[in-house]
Amino acid sequence: MRNSDTNQNSGIMKTNPLIGLIGTWKGDKGTDLAPKPEEDENNPYYETLVVEAIDMEISNAEEQELTAVRYHQTVFEKETDEMSHSETGFWIWDNISDTIMCAFSIPRGVSLLAGGTYEKTTGGETTIQVSSKLDDPDWGIVQSPFMRAKAKTLAFKRELKLSGNTLSYTQETTVEIYGKIFAHSDTNSLTKV
């Protein structure tokens, strides 16, 4: 690696909006509004989010430069302490187009690639927003035949707000389930431990 490459990479790392996500985060103020056949449920939850750096530079066709972090999220219902959600994925930053991507899978047979933007304030807060839609040619959703028939994901959006050792998020998954369209929402505030 040339010295100019090192200087360029250190500049990229300073502006990388994903760097602050690295670490272990815990939060116990989660609210999950979930669809049920008769009456929708509001389930309080707690979670752990582990975000790790990937020790590599990612170059696509010598035209795209990416940096990424890998994450694993585990969510537990407060009432039963049972795991209700497990998600593994990557947050990716394209530093040339300044695009943020989130690619993840859940073990129900659903995967997606969401794309969006970020904003850093002078006060140090970073806001990241991504979204995807079924059949979108750029930011799409893939799901198993069972999920398509029984709980089809139509759209997804997530917003993260990072300020120091506090990370909060809201997300909405639009699903077609139980004969209706439902906005399944989750929100939580986490602290880096």
Q: What is the pLDDT of residue 11?
A: 45
Query: What is the pLDDT, as a whole number, of residue 10?
Result: 46
Closest residue by Cα to residue 51 from 33, 24, 75, 78: 24
What's the pLDDT at 1? 34
pTM of the predicted structure, to 2 decimals: 0.89
Topology of domain 3-192, CATH: Lipocalin (2.40.128)
Residue 171: partners with Cβ closer than 8 Å, 6 or more residues away: 156, 157, 158, 159, 185, 186, 187
The whole-number mean pLDDT for each consecutive block of 10 residues of the chain, a chain of 193 residues, reads 40 75 98 82 95 85 92 98 97 95 98 98 94 98 98 98 98 95 96 98
CA Rg, the chain, in Å? 18
Domain range list for the chain? 3-192
The 3-state secondary structure of 99-115 reads EEEEEEEECCCEEEEEE
pLDDT computed for residue 7 by the predictor: 39
**CA–CA separation, 180 vs 131, rounded Å?**
21
